[in-house]
C-alpha cells in the first residue's frame, strides 16, 4: 500500500483501486478531481470531473455544454434551477438534478452544490443513502473502468476498503478509481445515526451510442427513473408515414437503460414487450418516461410510456433488465 498527503488531496493506493481524499475547501469552477488526471471538460480525452460551487444570494451559476453532461447534488441550502427543457424547479439540500448535453441550466439560491461533469460515453449517477449503522457494499463494474465519490451531506463518516480505513470529514469527499472488472468490498460507517451520504458513480463506457446516433437525448434522470426525447425527422419514418417501430423501441430502451443502471451496476436488456397503441403520424417529437415496477439486486423491471407532442400515448413497453455488477 502507498500513502501520500498533499495540500488539498490525500491519495491512497491499494492493490485493486486508487482512493483519493479531496478537501473541498476551494469553491468556483476549478475541478477538484478529474479523470484522466489534469484534464478539463474541453479536452478531447476528458471523461469525468468533480467540483464544488458556492451559491450566494442574487448570484447565478450556469451549467451546460454541447458535448458534456453534468449531474449535481445540493449539499446544503435551497436553490432553483431554470432548465432550457424543463422550466424552473426548486431543490432542497440532498436533492439532485442533471444538465444533459446541449442543455443549459441557470442555478440560483444559497448553499453549496457538488457537480459531476461527464463526456465521451460516461454513464453517471448520483444517489442519496441514509445510514443508520455501517453499510457494506460491493463496488466495481464489469463493463468499464469506474469512478465513485462519497461525501457526507450532514456529517462525517469513515470508509474501509479491504481492511484499510479512511476518515471523511464534512467538507471532504472520497473518490475511488477502479479498472474494468476490478471488484472490491467497501464498508461505510456513519459518524452519527440517520446521516445522509451522496454516492456518485461514473462508468467509462464505449463512446459510440446508437441512441445518440438517431437523435435520442436525455431530459432528466434520477434514482430508478428517466425521461428521454427524440426529435422526429424524415429518417425516422416508415413508408406509410408513421414513426418506425424500431425508433420507438430504441427510445424506450435508451431511457430504460439509464433508469435501470441508476441504482448501481450497468444493466443490459433481457426481455421486452412493446404494445403499439396509436400511430405516430409526423409528430414534432416523442418523449419516453421509464418508471420502475420492481427493483431487485440483479433483475429490474420497468414500464416505459412514449407520448408525442400532443400527449397522445403512442406505445407502452414492459422491459426487464439484468445488472452486470458482481
The pLDDT tens digits of the residues spanning 16-28 come to 678 888 877 655 5
User: If you count them, how many residues does the chain have?
Assistant: 326
Domain final residue, candidates 204, 234, 266: 204
Domain region containing 273: 210-323
Same domain, 224 and 148: no
Confidence at residue 16, expressed as pLDDT on a 0 to 100 scale: 64
Find out whether the peptide bond into 36 is cis, omega within 30 degrees of 0. yes
Task: Compute the CA torsion angle 287, 259, 302, 256 (nearest 10 deg).
Answer: 50
Q: What phi-psi label fits residue 203: left (phi over 0), alpha (psi between -120 and 50 degrees) or beta?
A: beta
Whole-angstrom CA distances from 228 to 70, 103, 266 are 15, 13, 18
Q: Is pLDDT of 9 > 60?
A: no
Domain final residue, candidates 180, 204, 228: 204
Same domain, 242 and 178: no
Q: Is pLDDT of 158 > 60?
A: yes
CATH assignment at residue 272:
3.10.129.10
Same domain, 226 and 126: no
Contacts of 325 (CB under 8 A, 6+ apart): 138, 140, 141, 142, 264, 265, 266
Same domain, 57 and 118: yes
C-alpha cell belonging to residue 248: 420507438
Cα distance between residue 166 and residue 296, in whole Å: 30
Give the CA diameter of the chain: 66
Same domain, 139 and 61: yes
DSSP assigned state of 18: E
Q: Is the pTM of this model over 0.85?
A: no
C-alpha cell belonging to residue 317: 413497453
User: 3-class DSSP state for residue 29?
Assistant: coil
Q: What percent of the chain has pLDDT over 70?
A: 93
Contacts of 263 (CB under 8 A, 6+ apart): 125, 127, 223, 224, 295, 300
Domain final residue, candidates 174, 204, 234: 204
Q: What percent of the chain has pLDDT over 90?
A: 38
Confidence at residue 288, expressed as pLDDT on a 0 to 100 scale: 97
pLDDT tens-digit readout, 37-65: 889 988 888 999 998 888 888 889 999 88
Same domain, 51 and 194: yes
User: 3-class DSSP state for residue 280?
Assistant: coil
Domain count for the chain? 2
Same domain, 186 and 236: no
Cα distance between residue 307 and residue 304, in whole Å: 10
First vs last C-alpha separation in the chain: 25
Confidence at residue 15, expressed as pLDDT on a 0 to 100 scale: 45
Q: Are the C-beta atoms of residues 255 and 227 closer than 8 Å to each other?
A: yes
Neighbours of 189 (CB within 10 A): 16
Confidence at residue 11, expressed as pLDDT on a 0 to 100 scale: 44
- How many helices (H) and strands (E) the chain has is answered by 2, 24
Confidence at residue 205, expressed as pLDDT on a 0 to 100 scale: 85
Amino acid at each position: 500500500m502507498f500513502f501520500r498527503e498533499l495540500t488539498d488531496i490525500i491519495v491512497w493506493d491499494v492493490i485493486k483501486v486508487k482512493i483519493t481524499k479531496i478537501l473541498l475547501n476551494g469553491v468556483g469552477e476549478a475541478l477538484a478531481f478529474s479523470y484522466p488526471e489534469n484534464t478539463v471538460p474541453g479536452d478531447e480525452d476528458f471523461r469525468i470531473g468533480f467540483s464544488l460551487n458556492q451559491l450566494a444570494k442574487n448570484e447565478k451559476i450556469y451549467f451546460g455544454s454541447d458535448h458534456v453532461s453534468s449531474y449535481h447534488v445540493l449539499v446544503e441550502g435551497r436553490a432553483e434551477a431554470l432548465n432550457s427543457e424543463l422550466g424552473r424547479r426548486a431543490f432542497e439540500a440532498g436533492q439532485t438534478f442533471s444538465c444533459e448535453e446541449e442543455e443549459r441550466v441557470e442555478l440560483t439560491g444559497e448553499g453549496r452544490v457538488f457537480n459531476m461533469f461527464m463526456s465521451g460515453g460516461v454513464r453517471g449517477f448520483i444517489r442519496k443513502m441514509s445510514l443508520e449503522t455501517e453499510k457494506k457494499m460491493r463496488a466495481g463494474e464489469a463493463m468499464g473502468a469506474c469512478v465513485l465519490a462519497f461525501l457526507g451531506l450532514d456529517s462525517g463518516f469513515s470508509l474501509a476498503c479491504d481492511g484499510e480505513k479512511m476518515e471523511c470529514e464534512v467538507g471532504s469527499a472520497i473518490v475511488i478509481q477502479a479498472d474494468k472488472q476490478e471488484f472490491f468490498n467497501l464498508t461505510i460507517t456513519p459518524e452519527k445515526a440517520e446521516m445522509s451520504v451522496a454516492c456518485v458513480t461514473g462508468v467509462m463506457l464505449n463512446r459510440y451510442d446508437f441512441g445518440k446516433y438517431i437523435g435520442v437525448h436525455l431530459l432528466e434522470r434520477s434514482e430508478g427513473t428517466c425521461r428521454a426525447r427524440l426529435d422526429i425527422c424524415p429518417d425516422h419514418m416508415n413508408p406509410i408515414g408513421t414513426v418506425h417501430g424500431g425508433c420507438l423501441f430504441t427510445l424506450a430502451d435508451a431511457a430504460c437503460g439509464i433508469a435501470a443502471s441508476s441504482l448501481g451496476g450497468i444493466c443490459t436488456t433481457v426481455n421486452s414487450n412493446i404494445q403499439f397503441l396509436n400511430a405516430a403520424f409526423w409528430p414534432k417529437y416523442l418523449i419516453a418516461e421509464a418508471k420502475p415496477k420492481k427493483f431487485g439486486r440483479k433483475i429490474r423491471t420497468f414500464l416505459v410510456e412514449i407520448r408525442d407532442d400532443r400527449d397522445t400515448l403512442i406505445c407502452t413497453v414492459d422491459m426487464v433488465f439484468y445488472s452486470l455488477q458482481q
